[in-house]
Amino acid sequence: MNDSDLWRSFRSGDETAFSMLYKTHIEVLYRYGHKLTGDTQLVEDSIQDMFIELWNSRQRLSDTDSIKYYLFRVLRRKITQHPLNRNAAGAGAELSAFEHRFFSHSTESELIDTENELGRTHALGHALTQLPPRQQEVVNLRYYHEFNHQQIAEIMNISLQSVHNTLQKSMKGLRELLFQKKSQLLG
Amino acid sequence: MNYLSFEPEDFATDAFFCSWVLHPTSETEQFWLDWLRDHPSKARDIELARQMVLLASSDESEVPGSETIDRIWQGIEDGKNRKTIIFTNRMLWVKAAAAVVLLLLAFGGYFYRQGQNRTYRTAFGESRRVLLPDGSLVTLNANSKLRVADRWGRRTEREVWLEGEAFFSVSKLKKAGRSVKFTVHTHDLNVEVRGTEFNVNTRQDQTRVVLSEGLVHLRLNDLPEKEIRMKPGDLVDFSRNRKELRIRHLPDASPVYSWKNNRWTLNDASLAEIAVLIQETYGVTVIIEADSLRQQTVNGIVPTDNMGDLLSALESILPVTITHQERRVTIRGRPD
């Protein structure tokens, strides 16, 4: 069943379609939620509320051919505007989650690097977390979740041009980080 | 699209390039390998861009456990207006029936084909795909031999013997409710799996196993009590003659078996190592004239479906001239 059909079945009140909707998207939603906030409870509550609201308002929803995109847009709004989100007020609210992850990782990653041979995996994995938070989110949406530029612009509520620019900048940054890591490993 | 003026970050942000790296299809494979053949000097940039995309597509964030998934779902169920669930989905039954028919057809074919003992061989410079009776797919690299046990269907185990190199994509098989083991025997060890993807190479007086997906158990010959469990990305080298066992983990294992897509992904490979690969694959003798050249390293993706293309790609990456006469390939330094 493709997304449009599944969505239509769900909107017509099909409970099986609804649980399928949940099962197939819970993991990506949970992961993305944790990129937006370090608060697990907030992520779980937001996902729960989102699905309850979806069910209750199903007859009023419009068609969609990408459920994941639809859900990401709603979830991001929910988390960033949640009253319990301590960072909700002010611009750049959701960024602190990324920063938090980055700082808590850096010392840990040094330990891992010296401790075992697998250091390189971690060293490279952490290269991503050295990008500025907004770049990390755009990169995650583009390369991990594989949304197109237009969808990313809508999800994050930014302009198409700024998606382009942010991606270009992120990749330049990654290239430099790859070079640095490589020379560190060789040197 | 004029890719010639592209920098690595331009490739890495190009949708067509990304789809090749993340979900290669025969169409994208064809395009990029042809493009690399026409522009061998871009091999390094392409490989760098590929690594950037792979890195960008990684995600180390937490995955919800099944308890968490159930708990959230319970909350949703409690929160929404309750309605009784009625299964009126007739399509489900049609699908189930179709699946049973397919299964019967598959097993009919399976039993029909049992009782064949076959050996598959490849010549130098040749690779081929072998579909086994259980649906598993083996890609056999050049100069290799795969023997498949006879009367496979009656055995409780699926068994093959390998000399050379092959990539295995083993499908899960259940008989009488129990999953049937698939075993690859080599001179050095046995690779035991249920359903998974891995590469086995028995050249150079050792067996190298690299796991791409799933779980693998290794049993070393002469040391049957020693069992090694491998996880995806693990690389194991074992030589019975030299009594050597080495285990490593690779951040990205795919370069090891990129040969099955007619290319080599070289990451800091020395020219000496590449020379050995060329000898094994094409059955030629490779001579590197200056010792200083042997340690020269190469990064990039090079096409391997014929040796001529491969050699000219190397010529454009390294400051060398390569000549090929009869069965002898000579690599000389080229003054810059």
Output the 3-class SS for A71-92: HHHHHHHHHHCCCCCCCCCCCC
Of the candidates B117, B184, B138, B135, the residue with the CA atom closest to the CA atom of residue B157: B184
Q: Does domain B113-254 have CATH number 2.60.120.1440?
A: yes
Q: Hey, are the CB atoms on A175 and B9 less than 8 Å from each other?
A: yes
Q: Hey, are the CB atoms on A144 and B9 less than 8 Å from each other?
A: no
Of the candidates B155, B107, B158, B157, the residue with the CA atom closest to the CA atom of residue B132: B158
Of the candidates A132, A66, A70, the residue with the CA atom closest to the CA atom of residue A99: A132
Fold of B262-336: Phage tail protein beta-alpha-beta fold (3.55.50)
pLDDT beyond 50 at A77: yes
> Which part of chain A is CATH 1.10.1740.10?
3-80
Taking 3-state DSSP, the helix, strand and coil percentages for chain A, each rounded to the nearest 5, stand at: 75, 0, 25
Q: Hey, are the CB atoms on B56 and A30 less than 8 Å from each other?
A: no
Q: Taking chain A, what is the end-to-end CA distance rounded to the nearest angstrom?
A: 53
pLDDT average, residue stretch A116-126: 47
pLDDT beyond 70 at B154: no
pLDDT beyond 80 at A109: no
Predicted local distance difference test score (pLDDT) of residue B110: 43
Burial of A18 (0-12, 13-18, 19+ CB in 10 A): buried
Chain B residues lying within 8 Å of A144, measured CB to CB? 56-59
Q: What's the longest Cα–Cα distance across chain B?
A: 81
Q: Rounded to an integer, what distance in angstroms lies between the CA atom of residue A106 and that of residue A109?
A: 5
Give percent above pLDDT 70 in chain B: 86
The string of DSSP letters for A30-57 reads HHHHHHH-S-HHHHHHHHHHHHHHHHHT
pLDDT beyond 60 at B155: no
Query: What is the tens place of the pLDDT at every residue in B46-90?
Result: 989 998 998 898 887 778 888 888 889 888 888 875 443 333 344
Q: Is A175 on the interface with B (CB under 8 A)?
A: yes
Determine which of B76, B77, B248, B254 to mutate to test the interface with A (most A C-beta atoms within 10 Å): B76
* Alpha-carbon distance A83 to nearest alpha carbon in chain B (angstroms): 20
Q: Is B85 on the interface with A (CB under 8 A)?
A: yes
Burial letters B191-226, b for 16+ CB under 10 A, else e: bbbbbbbbbbbbbeebbbbbbbebebebbbeeeeee
Of the candidates A136, A42, A22, the residue with the CA atom closest to the CA atom of residue A86: A42
Domains in chain B: boundaries = 1-58, 113-254, 262-336
Residue B149: pLDDT band by 50, 70, 90 thresholds?
confident
Q: Is A121 on the interface with B (CB under 8 A)?
A: yes
Q: Does A78 or A82 have the greater pLDDT score?
A: A78
* Alpha-carbon distance A24 to nearest alpha carbon in chain B (angstroms): 11
> Strands B328-333 and B285-288: what pairing?
parallel
Q: What's the longest Cα–Cα distance across chain A?
A: 62
Lowest mean pLDDT among A74-83, A101-110, A132-141, B196-205: A101-110
- Helix and strand numbers, DSSP H then E, in chain A: 9, 0
**Token output for B158:** 């699926």
Interface of A with B in 88-117 (CB under 8 A): 117
- Tell me, what's the ipTM? 0.77
Q: Rounded to an integer, what distance in angstroms lies between the CA atom of residue A164 and that of residue A153?
A: 9
Contact between residue B78 and residue B70 where contact means Cβ atoms under 8 Å apart: no
pLDDT beyond 60 at A50: yes
Q: Is A15 on the interface with B (CB under 8 A)?
A: yes
Chain A residues lying within 8 Å of B81, measured CB to CB? 55-56
> Which part of chain A is CATH 1.10.10.10?
95-186
Q: Hey, are the CB atoms on A144 and B57 less than 8 Å from each other?
A: yes
Q: Hey, are the CB atoms on B61 and A31 less than 8 Å from each other?
A: yes
Query: What is the tens place of the pLDDT at every residue in A139-182?
Result: 999 999 999 999 999 999 999 999 999 999 999 999 988 877 66
Residue B334: pLDDT band by 50, 70, 90 thresholds?
confident
CB neighbourhood size of B266 (10 A): 24
pLDDT beyond 50 at A34: yes
Nearest CB among A47, A117, A125 relative to B60 is that of: A125
Q: Does B107 or B204 have the greater pLDDT score?
A: B204
Query: What is the tens place of the pLDDT at every residue in B18-45?
Result: 999 999 888 998 999 899 999 988 998 9
Beta carbons within 8 Å of B201's beta carbon, 6+ residues apart: B141, B164, B165, B207, B208, B209
Q: Is A128 on the interface with B (CB under 8 A)?
A: yes
Mean pLDDT of all residues in chain B?
82
Q: Which CATH number fits domain A3-80: 3.40.109.10, 3.40.50.170, 1.10.1740.10, 3.40.50.720?
A: 1.10.1740.10
User: CATH number of the domain at A95-186, please?
Assistant: 1.10.10.10
Q: Is B160 on the interface with A (CB under 8 A)?
A: no
The string of DSSP letters for B106-122 reads HHHHHHHHTT--EEEE-
Most confidently modeled range among A64-68, A69-73, B133-137: A69-73
* DSSP single-letter state for residue A61: P
Predicted local distance difference test score (pLDDT) of residue B84: 36
C-alpha gyration radius of chain B: 24
